[in-house]
Amino acid sequence: MKFFINARYLIVPVSSLITIFGIFLGSTYAWTGVILFGFYTIIDTLTKDIHLKAEVDNDGNSYGIKIFQYLVMYVMLPVFIAIQIFLAWRLYQYTSGATLQNLSLGLIEYQNGISGLNLVGAIISSGLWAGLGIIYGHELSHNKKEGFFVSRLIMALSGASHFTYAHVYNHHLDLGHEDDPATAPRGRNVYLHTWLSHAGQSKFSFDMEAKKLKNQGKSFVNKDNRWLLGYLYSLPSIFLFVWSGGVIGLLALATVWILSNFLLEALNFMGHYGLIRKDGAVEHRHSWDNDSVFTSWFFIEIGRQCDHHVRGETYFWELDDVGGPNYGIGYFSLFVLTLYPPLFRKFVQKHLDNWDKNYATEEERSIASKFNIDTSSLASIAS
């Protein structure tokens, strides 16, 4: 039991390694990461009705092994770096005009050189798995020790090191309020939300450092500026892609960053879309749970948002179903819906109606009604 409960959270680490291996093998295997993403979307959809509680032993203690889970999360940093190195290697080959030929490394046969089409596959695969891997950056952002710094480095690989501060000191404190850029209001689509949330969180970190440095009597351009430092941590990635691929390398890095940040913000979008908090403490009802079995295991329980936002420093393997608002489907399935905003809005409306009726306070309902008026007026304009 203990082994299974800990091993089930290894889907992303193993899949990331398979994605790297696919990029190494080359040819159509470079698309492995994309195919895995599609395959997992199907599994998530098929298992959407299976919901499990957090398992504990007879004494009520979790089966999770902290040292093992933390080791996995720390090891994910070099794994994500490896994804970028292998992609850079392919960019180097492509921009150098390496001839396509099959070579062997021991028993493994791989293709040296890569076609333009398969390079696109390698880039998208890298972006998707860099984005899915951000779940570790999220989990470690709640660690007060070295894990916080590892989170900063993981996020910097996607140009989003500011996330670590903004997530803990902005998103968690201002959840469900318009001061939280990561909470999407009703009517906003995931594409606009991606930019507004990304820039908003960076702005939070920017303001935080500006205020701190001003109080310390230091200039903004300073080695103690953690907003600037966060971007500086991204310099090795930029260097790697510029050196290996020039303009094409830069386009590849931009694609990886955009894809990974899109997935990160899509998670924020799905976790809190349309929910409202009028001051007061954060409660379970201020988040959407996504706890179908595959989502739970794949995303290391990040879908248990209701519990996570009330017990922010609880290890992911201890989070549980708390009876909060729930879409009833997993993140992969819901993500597909968010890609087509009218479909997402149609799907989510009944859940929002239920939230307004059964979870919201009078004040929260009052704010919600402003959105409902806005939405109907927009609809009348559109028609």
Partner 1 sequence: MKNINAFLAIGALTLSVAALLYLVDAHQNFRNIYWALGISLTLLITHVTNMAIYFKVAGDKPYKWFK
Nearer to partner 1 (CB atom), residue 26 or residue 159:
159
170 binds partner 1 (CB under 8 A): no
Exactly one of 57, 353, 370, 373 binds partner 1 (CB under 8 A); that residue is 370
Q: Of residues 14, 108, 235, 378, which one binds partner 1 by CB under 8 A?
A: 235
Find the part of the chain contacting partner 1 (CB under 8 A) among 8-16, 128-136, 191-199, 305-313: 191-199
**Position among 38, 78, 246, 323 found at the interface with partner 1 (CB under 8 A):** 246
Q: Is residue 194 part of the contact set for partner 1 (CB under 8 A)?
A: no
247 is an interface residue for partner 1 by CB under 8 A: yes
Q: How far is the CB of 248 from partner 1 (least distance, A)?
A: 10
Contact between 159 and partner 1 per CB under 8 A: yes
Minimum CB–partner distance for residue 125 and partner 1 (Å): 23
Contacts with partner 1: how many residues (CB under 8 A)?
A: 27
Segment interacting with partner 1, rule: CB under 8 A, options 26-34, 59-67, 201-209, 315-323:
201-209
**Contact between 214 and partner 1 (CB under 8 A)?**
no
| Residue 197 binds partner 1, judged by CB under 8 A | yes
- Binding segment toward partner 1, per CB under 8 A, in 52-60, 225-233, 312-320, 346-354: 225-233
- Asked if 220 contacts 94 with a C-beta cutoff of 8 angstroms, the reply is no
Does position 129 interact with partner 1 (CB under 8 A)? The reply is no
Residues at the interface with partner 1 (CB under 8 A): 159, 178-179, 181, 185, 196-197, 199-200, 202-203, 206, 228, 231-232, 234-235, 238-239, 242-243, 246-247, 249-250, 370-371
